[in-house]
Amino acid sequence: MKKLTFPLLLASILLISYSFFINPAAFFNDIINTLEIWLFKVYPSIFTFYILASILVNTKLINVLIYFLRPLFKYLRFSDENSLHLFMVSIFVGNPTSASLVCEALKKDEITKNQANNLLKCSSFLNPFFIISFLSTLKLKYALIVIFVHIFANFLIVFFQNKKNPPTEIKPSKLTFSLADILTSVQNVIHLLLLISGIMVLCNIIRFSLLTVLGKIGIDLEFIKIILASIEISIGLNSIISSGLSLFLTLFLFSLFSSFAGISIHMQVYTVIKEEGLSYKNFLIYRIIQAAIAASLFIILWLLI
């Protein structure tokens, strides 16, 4: 692998340099478009739900809510209650926010390293409102189908992963409040959002450069745009929606790519978890599994509606 590093870096530099010098205006416009998507779609959802999730976790309000619904949630069979809380919160905040919250819990010794790695396998989501924002031009039921298969795929992973565990012991909890923890979360989410913007731009520079070179040699760019949707999920999903594909194929690809999450989010998660020594390999394997389950569930539901 190390032998390939230099040739890959050299090829990337040449690719990016060529695409920049052949059309610098388009190169910079692509960066601006990426940052507009980050500002208007990614920033609002991640900042809002990260802070809400932080409040739920730090005040233990999520503990109280789950305690009242314990007859249902205990059968998710997480090895500890904190893992259950983080899993439920991750549904609404999405990645890389959920990975960041897992790392925060690990630093506070609220979960073990093994529990953190298990959470990374099953707690990768896109924020539901993020999905709806891309599918807003379609009927709401189609967005709800995509959200359902996206979320339920991870629930199936949880059931399989935890099937040998006893039901989760859920204890009553009192509400707490720490302004310092909330302010720390604000600092964390600002750092996270800047990290996301940088990786989004980097991934889309690579994507733009590939499309520029492939366009020059006469390859069908519409097909390639769909293939490259896996590089950066925001631009990728936008490309799928605007590609003019049939409704079935649009929603199928949307379900597939949103569950895999895109190389950009994978890079963001890797950057977040590497300092804690958590396993990216397991995260990658289970995103492939999640994508396969979500795509299969979508086909089944499409045939039933």
Can you spell out the DSSP letters for 64-105? HHHHHTHHHHGGG--SSHHHHHHHHHHHHH-TTHHHHHHHHH
pLDDT at 4: 61
pLDDT at 286: 95
pLDDT at 150: 95
Say whether pLDDT at 202 is over 80: yes
Report DSSP letters for 16-76, one per residue.
Answer: HHHHHHH-HHHHHHHHHHHHHHIIIIIHHHHHHHHHHHHHHHHTTHHHHHHHHTHHHHGGG
Say whether pLDDT at 179 is over 80: no
pLDDT at 22: 85
Contacts of 283 (CB under 8 A, 6+ apart): 120, 121, 124, 266, 269, 270, 273
CB 250 within 8 A of CB 240: yes
Domain ranges of the chain: 42-304
pLDDT at 160: 92
| 96 upstream amide cis, omega within 30 of 0 | yes
pLDDT at 294: 96
Say whether pLDDT at 221 is over 70: no
Q: Which two tokens stand for residue 289?
A: 């599994």
**Over the stretch 107-125, which tens digit does the pLDDT of each residue have?**
989 999 999 999 999 999 9
End-to-end CA distance of the chain: 47
**Over the stretch 234-277, which tens digit does the pLDDT of each residue have?**
777 877 887 778 899 989 998 998 899 888 889 889 988 988 89
CB 93 within 8 A of CB 130: no
pLDDT at 220: 62
Q: Measured between alpha carbons, how far is 69 from 14 in angstroms, rounded to an integer?
A: 56
Mean pLDDT on 184-188 = 79
Task: Provide the mean pLDDT of the chain.
Answer: 85
pLDDT at 295: 94
Q: Measured between alpha carbons, how far is 261 from 8 in angstroms, rounded to an integer?
A: 23
176 burial via Cβ count (<10 Å: 0-12, 13-18, 19+)? exposed
Contacts of 207 (CB under 8 A, 6+ apart): 228, 231, 232, 235
229 versus 39: the higher-pLDDT residue is: 39
Highest mean pLDDT of the ranges 90-94, 101-105, 192-196, 289-293: 289-293
Mean pLDDT on 45-61 = 79
Question: Torsion over CA of 124, 151, 183 and 102, rounded to 10 degrees?
Answer: -40
